[in-house]
Amino acid sequence: MRTNMFLTNKYHHLLLVLLFAAMTSCNASAKSNKSVRVVEKTDTCRLDAGNTYEVFVPETSPNESLALLVIVDAHGAGKFALEKFKSAAEKYPMVLVASNTVKNGFAGSDQALQSLIDDVRQKYPVGKTLFLTGFSGGARMALSYALGHPVDGLILCGAMAGRDQLAALLCPVISISGMDDFNFAETAQYLFQEDKIPANLKIELTHASHSWPDSRMLSNAVGFLQLSASKDGTFSDTALLNYTHQQQTRIDSLKKQGDFVQAALIARNVASAPAFDPNKTFVSTYNSLKADNNYINRMNKLSNCLNTEMTVRQKYIGAFTTKDLAWWTNEIKTVNQCIKTERDSFDVDMYRRIKGFWGIACYSLCKQAVAQHNIEALQKTLGIYSAIEPNNADMFYFSAFPAYWKGDNKSTIDILKKAIKKGFSDKEHLKSDFSTAICSAI
């Protein structure tokens, strides 16, 4: 009896152990099937409390490693910039981080970005793939980082890399350039000598002027990098087919609109990635578009517009110091009228680029006058600046200096409040340029 009881107890114990193991296994299996919730928050680097960033992690599976896309906005507007990429990260799953710290004028951007990347890799489900993107000065800082560190892909918006820089980058580089952006000439140089276009350069054109492109265009760029250059995960034939179908739809739509230049560039981009074009369909499309008279005529028109623009830019450089406000008022009126009445989109883009050039020239001249404490030069430039861009936040900011230099604190505070209301957000410059009393009153 004692032996039977012992055996019975032993079997009962074994049964309980097996049952517990089965339950644990079932629970583990159930947990593994659950997706990890979306993360969206502001975070801080553990080793650098002043280095903050916005982070977005789409819904993922447990233990899944995602590509990382680091976003650099020229003004450090992390939340705004990250929002532009959220739909792309949901469609082509990846972790997004947008710096609140790295921006125009920030010293040590490479080190700050490396600190951010190291921090993200410790906290979030990031794999081996690293992409970077930026707008304007942010694009230049992203490029600077990529020239000194291993990167799997770049998306440059509103700024372009030089030929030597592109040759040094061992990854695809997507340039999204506004045809009405004053920086467009940086991209245009690559459009007219096909045999000299670096193999890793992919060009997209838009009409976003000097600002971030829309989310749809950014999603196309993200999809290209994710599906053709990511080291994390594998992508189904369906995903590749869906992407190429979307690009073909874009090409067809652009052709109907008469935009043969952009259509040809998209075809070239897709054709450059074997994963997208195994049957050389897009190679044929590209060659066909280039041979089309509509494409040839549009490229000739674009060339003429760019030559005209470069000629008049030289005239305007001298006019900032030699012409009075009345002359500039008439010139501004003429260009604004051309923007409204010209029927050819390339002409309209040219006049918008000229106007954008005026704006950036005024910014540079105001900055120089402030550094030199030259009130006469500053006030003359501000007269032109306000006529060109009456709602520009930087224009209002520079307008506060004459009153400040005269000791008129009330007017200084009022003008700076207008600048902030218009969108000026560089608190560091504000603190360095104006007294503590002025900053505290704003």
Q: Give me the mean pLDDT over the 388-416 stretch.
A: 96
Predicted confidence at residue 131, as pLDDT, reads 98
pLDDT of 377 above 50? yes
Dump pLDDT digits (tens) for 10-19.
Answer: 444 444 433 4
Predicted confidence at residue 373, as pLDDT, reads 96
Number of neighbours of residue 256 by Cβ within 10 angstroms: 9
pLDDT of 345 above 50? yes
Q: Give me the mean pLDDT over the 169-196 stretch.
A: 92
Q: Give me the mean pLDDT over the 52-74 stretch.
A: 92
Is the distance from CB of 89 to CB of 222 less than 8 angstroms? yes
More confident site: 31 or 295: 295
pLDDT of 334 above 70? yes
Report the relative pairing of strands 173-178 and 153-157 from DSSP bridges.
parallel
Predicted confidence at residue 33, as pLDDT, reads 54
Is the distance from CB of 90 to CB of 104 less than 8 angstroms? no
Q: How does 131-164 read in b/e, with b if 16+ C-beta sit within 10 Å?
A: bbbbbbbbbbbbbbbbeeeebbbbbbbbbbbeee
Is the distance from CB of 251 to CB of 267 less than 8 angstroms? yes
Which token pair is 441? 């009153």
Mean pLDDT of the chain: 90
Dump pLDDT digits (tens) for 66-93.
Answer: 999 999 999 999 999 999 999 999 999 9
Q: How confident is the model at residue 119 (pLDDT cuts 50, 70, 90)?
A: very high
pTM above 0.75, yes or no: yes
Which token pair is 247? 């690009």
Predicted confidence at residue 207, as pLDDT, reads 86
Beta bridge pairs of residue 176: 157, 204
Q: Where are the domains of the chain?
A: 1-34, 39-235, 298-441
Please determine, looking at this structure, whether the domain spanning 39-235 carries the CATH number 3.30.830.10: no
Predicted confidence at residue 290, as pLDDT, reads 95
CATH level 2 (architecture), domain 298-441: Alpha Horseshoe (1.25)
Is the distance from CB of 111 to CB of 145 less than 8 angstroms? no
pLDDT of 408 above 90? yes
| Closest CA relative to residue 316, chosen from 333, 338, 332 | 332
Report the relative pairing of strands 126-135 and 66-72 from DSSP bridges.
parallel
Least confident among 366-375, 399-408, 419-428: 419-428
Which token pair is 435? 């007294």
pLDDT of 22 above 50? no
